[in-house]
Amino acid sequence: MALVAESHPSEIIADLRRQLEDLRAKYAAVRAHQSTQAGSNGRKLTPEQVAEIRDLAERGETQADIGAEFGINAATVSRIVRHIYHP
């Protein structure tokens, strides 16, 4: 709905609430799809991949780039580099 100057504020608020609920439902559907794609525990990395991630980080690659290469989140890369994951 385009916001029209003649619209009553309560109508605008109701419309925005509907839009928000639609977006939340779409987001939930996307997240559910992603979780079924990755499995219940996410992607498993081999010890060789973990070593490569640490090596790339040590050589100055960004965590975002490393994460994109391995299909994992940059925060996961950070935890691997700091030995929180895969000690």
Domain map (residue ranges) of the chain: 9-41, 47-81
Q: Find the DSSP H helices in the chain.
A: 9-38, 47-58, 63-70, 74-81
Task: Say which DSSP state 85 is in.
Answer: S
Which tens digits make up the pLDDT trace of 12-58? 999 999 998 988 888 887 777 665 555 445 668 999 999 999 999 99
pLDDT band at residue 7 under the 50/70/90 scheme: confident
